[in-house]
Structure 1
């Protein structure tokens, strides 16, 4: 299309130029030149736009730098449908990520994982393709690279970004693809293997496959993960055979999340709400920042919720934040009754252990609460103790233990070796919680409360000063108006009421009473 338009432009130029050479009249020659200018204005923009829209592959030698004037996303490559684009995505207001974006919703489907540092949103950050896709800047050199020797880059309408090698017979082979390096999202027909990990955008949660299950993990403590949701393969249609290879996960276009060991039959099927329904839009699942795994489909105008692994908010790993308490139907409160959850958080999120070079028992205070349990206690390790005191004692002098939950009925003691997250409130007071609170956290909370108090008092004083000042101004203004009125009525201006003792003025005063 661009070639045809360009040809027509050239033909118009030549025709008009030939006509201008044959016309003797000055006025007619001026009209011909005006026609030439009109052709340039009408046709040139359409040629530029068509060429930009047709950019569906990157070849060796491609180079693009970040445009600092762009507010959020700078498109570089599009798929054949025009719904997906590879480009520079602005993150945290100052950094750039190489991302595949779903353009109708502005949702990132894939983001390149920079192993060491982020690239800054500046005109010095660039993407080049020299056989490898490379993000670099003049100071840090190479920030991210695919490490390939390919011939071209394509973005498929499945959202899969590929680097291909062209063979002599015009065939192509895939050297690298984004489907092998997912971030927080999987789309339909994308295989998720046991070698891959899905991470939430905040890095707090992850998803992995085991030998016969799918698990969600929380990174509440550096170097240690806690599983909080586990789905074991039902093996209803096919059995998992030892030695036949690991299982993998895939979203089937028919509307289910399937685990497979071979291509023929799934070993597990988790139906989506769109199961066996025709969906024209893209299907995807995403590990959300709250730790839930949710599925969506695009209906042409919005993402529609299609699946969620955890349906009850109180079953999420940290629905109410650190030292929070979640009750079904009642929402969030705090384990410590002295703290109001509406203030934003109960106690600051902690890291590390409780010793910090000192004696453990001097570094924390103890918070106890009845009628609480962990939302995922079935996945927690536990010990059997004879009493609550024994359960608490096993945690008290352990620097890595942040708390323990005890069941008086079963004698099970659940040690918590990471900073305390949200607990679930229940009616059974036989379930008791013992929690450590770092003393520094109390001081920090006190400082925050003191700062809020100072702010409230300061605000009240400002309001009081404004009220007094505004009242004084109104009184001054009334007095000034009255003085002006009396001066005018005293003989400065003529009028029937300048004699204040007259009968008419007295009648007016009586009416006002």
Structure 2
């Protein structure tokens, strides 16, 4: 391994303890990693290279399938990541919500704890351990180990998944890369949740354990999930028998495949298998696009069987910017009374996940709307008179589903200002219309004046033409008389 020694740089007071720990480590000669190792020992240090444009490897597993290193994001940001080498697909990030800068101020080192710090951005992440070495297993699991008669694991990345998990990795939660969606385990189910600003998270997908092979025993601890190499996503409580199985496309196929599951930025839960050259879609929790939490954006409308999106307000054309600004928080705060929002109604719509939406009995659409109008936590209410159910939406309005049934009526609160873009379009049209009308008035007046002048000239010309020879009747003066007399 080639190396280039670097000198310590001054850092802020909050990093003083790290510096002291670093200086007291077994090796005091920090070096810059330019090739990949198969273990990191105390005294290891690395900084990002300015010449690297995508990924700088630091640590590899013995098979060479996985690598730990600096992943360059957004041109000048850095994440400590474990990648699947063949596809360059990140499987784990140290801290996805707070990234370091891609600069010489950022340093990764191991002094018993694996630490990455960047004084310029106040970024600091650590395993908070007292280990002897760092290794990357051929399962993509990054571990800090303590040496002894048998190496003991004191920290591992498998215990801290981000948006992705791989086969044989136990997990209880995942968070999408954009932070909007999460997977969590309940007492007897796994669910997908959408995050709404200032309000409670919305459960939009739920898979309850069937308990076909094993039963959930109350008091025996929470359930967790794991991907089996046999091709399924299982839920477990204790023992080796799953309490539920969700089969993948490659279920019980004999040839070995590497599997992973990821919660995507659109909120779907998808499984993939690596066939040696590409990732193949192997499983997905939500099949219908309209069942995703927000495929058309705030106040959007998704109609099954149709391509594209539209808007709940049918006076607004859907664009890449969406329909309206998203609401936020609730309408309960000071000054958030009725004069702070306006009401939109639309027939033929329902919530995308009505079975998971709060339901109330109502005898009429007026009663349903009244429930929402009086409740400052309510953003919308959708009534179906065939069943008498009123579905109450307690978060800012997202995409609704079009049904075409006029008996399904939606009532939606829109915070004032959310429809500014639509109104600005209307204002622009009004201005243009006003200008056109003004031009029309001016044009009409001008035409009238020209016509009067032509009439006067025509009378004069008529006298002259009549007194002249006949051949002059084809002259321009005669044609002007003919045009004038035709009006």
1:183 to 162, 179, 188: 162
Counterpart residue number, 1:200:
176
Give me the whole-angstrom Cα distance separating, in 1, the residues matched to 2:260 and 2:160.
Answer: 15
TM-score, with structure 2 as normaliser: 0.77
Counterpart residue number, 2:87:
105
Counterpart residue number, 1:161:
142
Contact kept? 1:215, 1:227, Cα under 8 Å:
yes
Give me the whole-angstrom Cα distance separating, in 1, the residues matched to 2:276 and 2:428.
Answer: 48
Give me the whole-angstrom Cα distance separating, in 2, the residues matched to 1:131 and 1:384.
Answer: 61
Superposition pairs of residues 39-78 of structure 1, within 5 angstroms: 55-78=37-60
Contact kept? 1:114, 1:143, Cα under 8 Å:
no
The answer as to 2:404 corresponding to 1:423 is no
The answer as to 2:335 corresponding to 1:358 is yes
Counterpart residue number, 2:364:
387
Counterpart residue number, 1:311:
287
Contact kept? 2:105, 2:120, Cα under 8 Å:
no
The answer as to 2:122 corresponding to 1:134 is no
CA apart distance, 1:120: 1.6
Contact kept? 1:348, 1:445, Cα under 8 Å:
no
Contact kept? 1:258, 1:269, Cα under 8 Å:
yes
Contact kept? 1:361, 1:397, Cα under 8 Å:
no
Counterpart residue number, 2:322:
345
Counterpart residue number, 2:129:
148
CA apart distance, 1:413: 1.5
**Structure 1 residues 453, 60: CA separation in 2 closer, same or farther (over 3 Å shift)?**
farther
Contact kept? 2:230, 2:251, Cα under 8 Å:
yes
Higher helix share: 1
SS state at 1:409 partner: coil
TM-score, with structure 1 as normaliser: 0.74
**Per-residue displacement from partner, 1:35-78 (whole Å, max 9, x unpaired)?**
xxxxxxxxxxxxxxxx9766111110111112233212211111
CA apart distance, 1:179: 0.3
Give me the whole-angstrom Cα distance separating, in 2, the residues matched to 1:239 and 1:286.
Answer: 27
**Structure 1 residues 356, 127: CA separation in 2 closer, same or farther (over 3 Å shift)?**
same
Give me the whole-angstrom Cα distance separating, in 1, the residues matched to 2:257 and 2:247.
Answer: 17
Counterpart residue number, 1:371:
348
CA apart distance, 1:361: 1.6
After TM superposition, the structure 1 stretch with the greater mean CA deviation from structure 2, 297-306 or 244-253, is 244-253
Give me the whole-angstrom Cα distance separating, in 2, the residues matched to 1:352 and 1:448.
Answer: 27
Structure 2 unaligned regions, length at least 5: 2-32, 432-487
Give me the whole-angstrom Cα distance separating, in 2, the residues matched to 1:101 and 1:207.
Answer: 22
Give me the whole-angstrom Cα distance separating, in 1, the residues matched to 2:404 and 2:256.
Answer: 47
For these two proteins, the number of residue pairs brought into alignment is: 399
**Per-residue displacement from partner, 1:202-255 (whole Å, max 9, x unpaired)?**
111000111111111111233411101111111111111222222221111111
Counterpart residue number, 1:508:
none
1:293 to 248, 269, 279: 269
Give me the whole-angstrom Cα distance separating, in 2, the residues matched to 1:241 and 1:279.
Answer: 35
Contact kept? 1:238, 1:267, Cα under 8 Å:
yes
CA apart distance, 1:95: 1.9
